[in-house]
């Protein structure tokens, strides 16, 4: 096929909402001559441009691939409903933003799967591209479809549709995949040979090469490789060095979310909060040196013209040089118009000091803290200890240092949650508001944001039951009434909208047909509040004869084989189990930097470590 006819495209763009989503042409976009490259990769984020363009992982892959002379990477996002209708009506296949070439012309389609509610959009994307949904129905004439991202630590629900998954950091693996692909192409072999070769790459999971058997009760009996040379367990890849910061970040022409420079300062976290998926799957801790952060900021500002920057990590306070970093960032940028945000700070007065070091670079707006739970009992269950005295001291410092708005994150639906836990959230928020009013008067605003806990694979809570939406709604109602009376703003998600994530995140291969059915019935953009229509999903479950409660409403047996057990995040299942049992007993575990628990990750990066001595690793 050839490039999409510009006349036809322009005609439909004239009538759709925000046509700037579909045209590319941004500053720092890379458009390479198609014929100058032997391998072409389409990088897809299966949601709107407005969301996907901000994805840091995607931006890194885009840059490192395009840095190689013989390969090119282009971008593609999901079209919004109006654009999709227009494309289908005029039979315009899904195309890449840079060259406006159909996706089907590319060699590899790499899809980002950051969360589960994006799955139906993947199916829609494949369909719009004119490709069969099922990997088994796509022969070697179609692009190879690979997927990566945090949701891939349990790839099973999507195994029908994806040829190969990348588990863990993708920065090095992507080139091994491309090289394997190039070699295969030269040899003119069939698709199975490609899949077998890919399965030999560390960190690559080729689902079609495994057989899954089940017990009568529906749980997994075993997952076994079908072919010689296919690993029984796929270990995640660990990039020994954080990838170099993006040199030429694309500057969108339309407004998107997180429209700013992003600099990753640290990957991984050692805190061990039991609900946290990212904390486990991103181990071990690797941090960027202050000097490198400064370089990244300087080149980022010059390359983009942005006046906003965010220093990203799971827990900024834990960067060993964070105070120096704050000071140095200020010294470097004073006089520049730049606002620097430093999210994910621990609840302690030191965090306020860190922000103060940024002086006039710190962003306007509120201060955010995430206590997650309000009673000591619950804090022990989730392993996020926090002394109330320190919480209130910190809050005082925050108000005393000039902030008037405070946002607090809490979770509900946690294991063994009781009424007293919810009451404590309310009381804490009220007390915080009182402190604020006492110190700064009536201008003080407190905003509580409630997230619903969803048990995630590879975490100590992977055995736990997920609370049903009806009782979650009751809890929300209780908090809403209380907060309203206390004049505290409360935000929360519709309990229904978290259902999908709960089903899919601990799902197995049998959910593939449910996803497909739901999509056929009309499900897409499920991550959007208005997008998720639970009726489609219930109908799909019913038609496929699959019980959704199997995935949510049961506490797993301690010796159950999970659908994702053959995917290793580097952490032993025994370690997670021990931690889960500690949680049941209300016992905490300290930050493992203060004493290693031998979680298993050490073995995983033993090989890459000696050659990367200059990296700060959080592990002994």
Partner 1 sequence: MNPITPYRVRIRFAKLEGLRFIGHLDLQRLFERALNRTGLPLRYSQGFSPKIRLNLASALPLGFVSSAEVLDFWLNCPVELEEIKKSLQESLPKDIQIIDIEEIDNKRPSLQASLRSSVYRITIPISYAQEELIRGFNGLISKETIPFIRRKKTVDIKPMIESYQIEITPEASVLTLQMSSTAENNGRPDELLSFIKVDPADVIIERIQLIFEE
Give the contact letters, 314-343, x = binds to ligand SF4 (CB under 6 A), - = no: ------------------------------
Query: Residue 296 and residue 291: Cα distance in Å, rounded?
Result: 9
Taking the complex as a whole, the smallest distance from the CB of residue 543 to ligand SF4 amounts, in Å, to 44
Q: Compare residues 132 and 305 and give the one whose CB is closer to partner 1.
A: 305
Q: Compare residues 102 and 457 and give the one whose CB is closer to ligand SF4.
A: 457
Relative to beta strand 220-225, strand 210-214 is antiparallel
Residue from 54, 56, 254, 544 that binds partner 1 (CB under 8 A)? 254
Residue from 29, 450, 592, 604 that binds ligand SF4 (CB under 6 A)? 592
Decide if residue 597 touches ligand SF4 (CB under 6 A). Answer: yes
Taking the complex as a whole, the smallest distance from the CB of residue 300 to partner 1 amounts, in Å, to 11
Helix (H, G, I), strand (E, B) or coil at 381: helix
Binder of residue 251, out of partner 1, ligand SF4, none (CB less than 5 to 8 A by kind): partner 1
Residues 6+ apart with CB under 8 A from 303: 28, 247, 248, 249
Binder of residue 601, out of ligand SF4, partner 1, none (CB less than 5 to 8 A by kind): ligand SF4
Peptide bond into 144 cis (omega under 30): no
Decide if residue 619 touches ligand SF4 (CB under 6 A). Answer: yes
Residue from 305, 402, 522, 586 that binds partner 1 (CB under 8 A)? 305
Residue from 304, 326, 351, 498 that binds partner 1 (CB under 8 A)? 304
Helices 349-357 and 388-400, axial angle in degrees (round to 10): 30
Decide if residue 306 touches partner 1 (CB under 8 A). Answer: yes
Helices 322-333 and 290-304, axial angle in degrees (round to 10): 40
Quick one: three-class SS letters along 508-539? CCCHHHHHHHHHHHCCCCCCCCCCCCHHHHHH
DSSP one-letter string for 246-286: PSS--B-SS--TT-SEEEE-EE---S--TT-HHHHHTPSPE
Query: Residue 408 and residue 399: Cα distance in Å, rounded?
Result: 14
Query: Residue 462 and residue 620: Cα distance in Å, rounded?
Result: 27
Decide if residue 576 touches ligand SF4 (CB under 6 A). Answer: no
- Largest Cα–Cα separation, the chain: 75
Decide if residue 365 touches partner 1 (CB under 8 A). Answer: no
Binder of residue 595, out of ligand SF4, partner 1, none (CB less than 5 to 8 A by kind): none
Q: Is the four-CA dihedral 30, 34, 37, 42 of positive or negative sign?
A: positive
Query: Residue 127 and residue 173: Cα distance in Å, rounded?
Result: 27
Decide if residue 192 touches ligand SF4 (CB under 6 A). Answer: no
CA distances from 128 to 43, 139, 141, 227, 332 (A): 15, 18, 17, 33, 47
Provide Rg for the chain, Cα atoms: 24
Q: Which of residues 25-44 bind partner 1 (CB under 8 A)?
A: 25-27
Would you say 400 and 439 are in contact if contact means Cβ atoms under 8 Å apart? yes
Token reading at 399: 């108000």
Binder of residue 596, out of ligand SF4, partner 1, none (CB less than 5 to 8 A by kind): ligand SF4
Q: Compare residues 86 and 479 and give the one whose CB is closer to partner 1.
A: 86
**Piece in contact with ligand SF4 (CB under 6 A), picked from 193-201, 258-266, 318-326, 595-603:** 595-603
Residue from 42, 425, 599, 615 that binds ligand SF4 (CB under 6 A)? 599
Q: By rule CB under 6 A, what count of residues binds ligand SF4?
A: 11
Query: Residue 573 and residue 530: Cα distance in Å, rounded?
Result: 37
Residues 6+ apart with CB under 8 A from 477: none
Residue from 219, 222, 241, 253 that binds partner 1 (CB under 8 A)? 253
Decide if residue 409 touches ligand SF4 (CB under 6 A). Answer: no
Q: Compare residues 91 and 226 and give the one whose CB is closer to partner 1.
A: 91
Q: Compare residues 180 and 304 and give the one whose CB is closer to partner 1.
A: 304
Residue 457 DSSP label: T
Residue from 270, 315, 428, 452 that binds ligand SF4 (CB under 6 A)? 270
Buried b (16+ CB within 10 A) or exposed e, 142-176: bbbbbbbbbbbbbbbbbbbbbbbbbbbbbbbbbeb
Q: Compare residues 33 and 606 and give the one whose CB is closer to ligand SF4.
A: 606
Count other C-beta atoms under 10 Å from residue 522's C-beta: 11
Residue from 555, 596, 611, 612 that binds ligand SF4 (CB under 6 A)? 596
Residue from 1, 5, 11, 183 that binds partner 1 (CB under 8 A)? 11
**Piece in contact with partner 1 (CB under 8 A), picked from 158-166, 185-193, 303-311, 535-543:** 303-311
**Piece in contact with partner 1 (CB under 8 A), picked from 10-18, 130-138, 143-151, 431-439:** 10-18
Residue from 346, 602, 608, 609 that binds ligand SF4 (CB under 6 A)? 602
Residue from 207, 284, 436, 563 that binds ligand SF4 (CB under 6 A)? 284
Binder of residue 270, out of partner 1, ligand SF4, none (CB less than 5 to 8 A by kind): ligand SF4
Query: Residue 445 and residue 428: Cα distance in Å, rounded?
Result: 14
Q: Compare residues 27 and 549 and give the one whose CB is closer to partner 1.
A: 27
Token reading at 170: 């993708």
Q: Is the four-CA dihedral 588, 592, 594, 597 of positive or negative sign?
A: positive
Decide if residue 308 touches partner 1 (CB under 8 A). Answer: no
Half-sphere exposure of 233 (CA within 13 A, CB side): 15
Q: Compare residues 408 and 567 and give the one whose CB is closer to ligand SF4.
A: 567
Provide the strand spans (E) within 467-585: 489-492, 567-568
Q: What are phi and psi of 165, to 5 degrees?
A: -110, 145
Residue 121 DSSP label: H
Give the contact letters, 233-252, x = binds to partner 1 (CB under 8 A), - = no: ------------------x-
Decide if residue 96 touches ligand SF4 (CB under 6 A). Answer: no
**Piece in contact with ligand SF4 (CB under 6 A), picked from 103-111, 454-462, 542-550, 589-597:** 589-597
Binder of residue 418, out of partner 1, ligand SF4, none (CB less than 5 to 8 A by kind): none
Decide if residue 601 touches ligand SF4 (CB under 6 A). Answer: yes
Binding site for ligand SF4 (CB under 6 A): 270, 283-284, 592, 596-599, 601-602, 619
Binding site for partner 1 (CB under 8 A): 10-15, 19-20, 22-23, 25-27, 251, 253-255, 301-307, 337, 364
């Amino acid at each position: 096929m050839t490039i999409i006819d510009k006349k036809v495209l322009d005609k439909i763009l004239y009538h759709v909402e925000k046509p700037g989503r579909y045209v590319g042409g941004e500053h720092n976009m890379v458009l390479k001559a198609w014929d100058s490259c032997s391998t072409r990769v389409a990088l897809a984020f299966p949601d709107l441009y407005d969301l996907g363009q901000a994805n840091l992982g995607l931006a890194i892959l885009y840059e490192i691939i395009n840095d190689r002379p013989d390969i090119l990477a282009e971008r593609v996002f999901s079209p919004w409903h109006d654009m999709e209708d227009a494309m289908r009506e005029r039979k315009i296949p899904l195309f890449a933003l840079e060259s406006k070439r159909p996706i089907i012309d590319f060699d590899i389609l790499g899809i980002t799967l950051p969360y589960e509610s994006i799955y139906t959009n993947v199916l829609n994307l494949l369909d719009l591209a004119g490709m069969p949904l099922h990997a088994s129905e796509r022969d070697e004439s179609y692009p190879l479809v690979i997927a990566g991202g945090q949701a891939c630590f349990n790839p099973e629900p999507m195994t029908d549709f994806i040829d190969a998954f990348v588990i863990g950091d993708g920065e090095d693996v992507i080139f091994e995949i491309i090289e394997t692909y190039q070699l295969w192409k030269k040899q003119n072999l069939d698709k199975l040979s490609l899949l077998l070769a890919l399965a030999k790459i560390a960190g690559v999971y080729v689902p079609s090469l495994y057989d899954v058997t089940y017990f009568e009760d529906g749980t997994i009996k075993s997952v076994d490789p079908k072919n010689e040379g296919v690993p029984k367990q796929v270990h995640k890849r660990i990039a020994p060095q954080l990838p170099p910061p993006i040199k030429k970040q694309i500057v969108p022409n339309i407004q998107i979310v997180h429209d700013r420079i992003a600099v990753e300062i640290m990957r991984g976290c050692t805190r061990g909060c039991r609900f946290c998926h990212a904390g486990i799957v991103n181990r071990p801790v690797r941090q960027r040196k202050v000097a490198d952060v400064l370089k990244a900021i300087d080149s980022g500002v010059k390359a983009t013209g942005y006046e906003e920057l965010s220093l990203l990590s799971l827990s900024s306070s834990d960067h060993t040089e964070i105070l120096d970093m704050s000071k140095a960032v200020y010294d470097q940028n004073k006089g520049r118009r730049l606002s620097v945000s430093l999210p994910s700070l621990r609840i302690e007065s030191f965090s306020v000091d860190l922000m103060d070091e940024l002086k006039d670079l710190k962003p306007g707006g509120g201060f955010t803290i995430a206590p997650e739970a309000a009673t000591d009992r619950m804090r022990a269950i989730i392993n996020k200890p926090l002394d109330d005295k320190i919480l209130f001291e910190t809050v005082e410092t925050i108000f005393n240092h000039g902030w008037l708005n405070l946002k607090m994150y809490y979770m509900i639906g946690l294991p063994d949650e009781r009424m007293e836990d919810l009451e404590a959230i309310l009381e804490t928020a009220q007390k915080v508001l009182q402190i604020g009013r006492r110190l700064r008067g009536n201008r003080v605003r407190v905003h509580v944001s409630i997230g619903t806990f969803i048990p995630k694979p590879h975490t100590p809570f992977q055995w736990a039951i997920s609370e049903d939406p009806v009782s979650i709604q009751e809890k929300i109602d209780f908090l809403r009434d209380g907060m309203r009376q206390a004049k505290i703003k409360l935000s929360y998600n519709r309990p229904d909208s978290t259902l999908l994530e709960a089903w899919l995140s601990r799902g197995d291969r049998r959910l593939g047909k449910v996803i497909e059915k739901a999509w056929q019935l009309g499900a897409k953009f499920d991550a959007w509040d208005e997008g998720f229509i639970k009726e489609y999903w219930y109908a799909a479950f019913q038609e496929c004869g699959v019980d959704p409660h199997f995935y949510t409403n049961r506490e797993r047996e301690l010796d159950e084989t999970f659908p994702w057990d053959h995917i290793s995040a580097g952490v032993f299942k025994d370690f997670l189990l021990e931690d889960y049992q500690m949680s049941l007993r209300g016992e905490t575990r300290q930050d493992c930097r203060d004493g290693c628990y031998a979680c298993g990750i050490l073995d995983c990066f033993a090989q890459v470590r000696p050659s990367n001595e200059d990296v700060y690793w959080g592990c002994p």
